[in-house]
Amino acid sequence: MRNYLGIFFIIFLLSFIDKNLVAREKEGRLILGGGIYNFMENGEKRCTLTHTDSTCFREETVSETSIAYQLEYQSDKRFLKIFKPKIGFLGTSKNATYGYTGVSVDFYFGNCKCLVLTPSFAAGWYVDGDEIKMYSRLEFMSGGDLSYRFRNNVRVGVGLYHISNAGLGKENPGTESILFKYQIPF
């Protein structure tokens, strides 16, 4: 949990360096995403070979990637001048689901302010399905998007996220997702 607070503290400090870095869009966004869930080797370990005294000789990680899909709404409202609330849903082809709410910040780069970095943090309710076991229903998602903003404010980009229980469960395997995103202003 300390890592998450550190990330938000850094974001908070960055917002005071250059006011042009955090632009003021007046529109909310509907975000559609699709990609790969659990693309790094995470998950449960299971013993594949035991000694005669029942101790494990060889372990195998039980992890498979699956297809991920995401639907998210980011509000045009702000609190503490820079944080935008968001609410969303992430699901997988192996029946894992995650409903969440959190905050994000948009940082704009380039003369055209068309390159956008959006770090975010969320907490939500996770259901394992046929995916890796996360050992807690309460899970936290941290990560962000890197996207290109067109003149009509539509964004196309990629998001990279980590979901874990922050040590609240018996174990904390965590999972990573990479999603290609299409963001529509309204």
* CATH number, residue 107: 2.40.160.20
Q: What is the pLDDT of residue 101?
A: 98
Considering the chain, what percentage of its residues have pLDDT values greater than 90? 53
What residues make up the domain containing 169? 2-185
Number of domains the chain is built from: 1
Asked if residue 69 has pLDDT above 60, the reply is yes
Segment 84-96 mean pLDDT: 95
Q: What's the predicted TM-score (pTM) here?
A: 0.78
Task: Read off the pLDDT of residues 121-133 as tens digits, 9 standing for 90 and up.
Answer: 999 999 988 777 7
3-state secondary structure 2-19: HHHHHHHHHHHHHHHHCC
Q: What is the pLDDT of the chain when averaged over all its residues? A: 84
Segment 22-28 mean pLDDT: 69
Q: Which of 115-119, 127-131, 158-162 shows the lowest mean pLDDT across its residues?
A: 127-131
Contact 94, 64 (CB under 8 A): yes
H/E segment holding residue 87: strand 84-92
